[in-house]
């Protein structure tokens, strides 16, 4: 069997001296690989808001490192003042994007380190924050590997897979989530054909997913979003694998805009639709998808981004939600690092956490 090692992108990491968080600027891909070195609050906020770092797990990893780097700026403060400054920085970063639960999850986890160690000197707390940020990253690598293993168990050599948006190494760590089974299978000598939706208006599928897959030697075909139906009808798709930004307690799933339409098409053609993501994206405090706040983005992303000239009348109104919610009834399974959760999700997600 042919083994092909996949090159794993160092999309989020600490600098060698530990003073900056370094990211691959995803807005520059695929034409340029640009590394940004960040150590101030506003650039860290902008990196999340402007999608220079994106993908729910990657945002969580970045948030952990960012909070450590920022906290390292003020080790001389008293504990109370340190706590106050840390909380303010955390809340500001948390306001950058509201839908992906990993952001608030990682920020709260970092703040817990501060709150749980009030008996320690501030420099010692800063050291613990660095350790916690690294742990968050290492845990995500392990989770993505486990998710990839579970997802690969659903595929056979030669399968066609359709994916929407980007849930590969750039959006997470190591193998990724939705793309992880494909990359892991590729390393083990398996061959798949992936159809990647371009994912308007930000083109994550075109710019990022097709870039990752082609770089790994995967047979990938880029399609416009409105072509998903015909490739399914042609019998070229055996499964749909997508990532997620938040999973409600009943199994409703928020993911990049257009995902729910793909799920509806898959249901029509009898194709299993799977959501892949770490358990940190499951929000048991959110009862249903109706309770998920959907981020609305700048209308100019539709009219002007990627074009030399505007592609719509200047005064036309635009509706630009970043995400939509896929109803749990359309989902065949939710694949986490702990295993594959099947319906009924309201019962089985609770069991997942009980275990």
pLDDT given for residue 1 in this prediction: 34
- Structure tokens of 145? 């590997």
Reference 115, options 70, 83, 67; nearest CA is 83
Would you say residue 101 has pLDDT above 70?
A: yes
pLDDT given for residue 2 in this prediction: 42
Confidence band, pLDDT 50/70/90 cuts, at residue 196 = very high
Question: What share of the chain has pLDDT > 90, as a percent?
Answer: 90
pLDDT given for residue 174 in this prediction: 83
Q: Label residue 244 exposed, middle or buried (CB < 10 Å: 0-12, 13-18, 19+).
A: buried
Would you say residue 7 has pLDDT above 70?
A: no
Residues facing 14 on adjacent strands: 21
Q: What are the chain's domains? A: 12-144 (1.20.120.420), 148-354 (3.40.50.10470)
- Structure tokens of 59? 């945002």
Reference 225, options 265, 280, 188; nearest CA is 265
Q: pTM of the entire structure?
A: 0.87
Mean pLDDT value across residues 332-340? 97
Q: How far is CA 325 from the centre of its chain?
A: 15
Of 94-108, 155-169, 252-266, least confident by mean pLDDT is 94-108
Reference 58, options 165, 191, 200; nearest CA is 165
- Structure tokens of 286? 């959110």
pLDDT given for residue 219 in this prediction: 97
Cis-peptide into 153, omega within 30 deg: no
Mean pLDDT value across residues 73-91? 96
The span from the CA of 323 to the CA of 199, in Å, is 11
Confidence band, pLDDT 50/70/90 cuts, at residue 353 = confident
Catalytic residue numbers? 245
- Structure tokens of 14? 């600490």
Q: What's the CA angle centered on 211, arms 175 and 179, to 5 degrees?
A: 30
**pLDDT tens digit sequence for 37-75:** 999 999 999 999 999 999 888 999 999 999 999 999 999
pLDDT given for residue 8 in this prediction: 62
pLDDT given for residue 3 in this prediction: 42
């Amino acid at each position: 069997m042919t083994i092909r090692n996949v090159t794993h992108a160092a999309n989020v990491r600490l600098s060698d001296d530990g003073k900056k968080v370094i990211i691959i600027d995803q807005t520059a891909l695929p034409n340029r690989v640009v590394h940004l070195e960040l150590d101030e609050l506003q650039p860290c906020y902008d990196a999340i808001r402007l999608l220079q770092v994106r993908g729910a797990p990657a945002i969580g990893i970045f948030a952990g490192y960012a909070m450590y780097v920022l906290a390292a700026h003020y080790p001389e403060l008293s504990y109370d003042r340190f706590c106050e400054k840390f909380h303010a920085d955390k809340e500001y970063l948390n306001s950058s994007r509201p839908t992906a639960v990993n952001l608030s999850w990682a920020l709260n986890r970092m703040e817990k380190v501060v709150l749980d160690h009030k008996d320690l000197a501030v420099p010692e707390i800063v050291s613990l924050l660095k350790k916690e940020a690294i742990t968050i990253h290492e845990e995500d690598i392990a989770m993505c590997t486990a998710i990839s293993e579970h997802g690969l168990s659903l595929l056979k050599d030669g399968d066609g897979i359709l994916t929407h948006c980007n849930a590969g190494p750039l959006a997470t760590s190591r193998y990724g989530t939705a793309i992880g089974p494909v990359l892991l299978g590729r390393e083990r000598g398996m061959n798949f054909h992936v159809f990647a939706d371009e994912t308007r208006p930000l083109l994550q599928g075109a710019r990022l997913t097709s870039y990752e897959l082609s770089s790994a030697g995967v047979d990938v075909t880029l399609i416009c979003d409105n072509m998903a139906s015909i490739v399914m009808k042609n019998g070229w798709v055996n499964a749909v694998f997508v990532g997620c930004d938040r999973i409600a307690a009943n199994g409703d799933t928020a993911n990049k805009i257009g995902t729910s339409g793909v799920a509806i098409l898959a249901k029509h053609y009898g194709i299993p639709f799977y959501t892949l993501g770490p358990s940190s994206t499951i929000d048991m405090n959110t009862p249903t998808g109706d309770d998920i706040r959907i981020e609305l983005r700048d209308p100019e992303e539709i009219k002007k981004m990627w074009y030399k000239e505007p592609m719509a009348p200047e005064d036309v109104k635009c509706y630009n939600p970043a995400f939509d919610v896929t109803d749990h009834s359309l989902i065949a399974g939710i694949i986490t690092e702990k295993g594959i959760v099947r319906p009924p999700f309201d019962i089985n997600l609770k069991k997942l956490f009980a275990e």
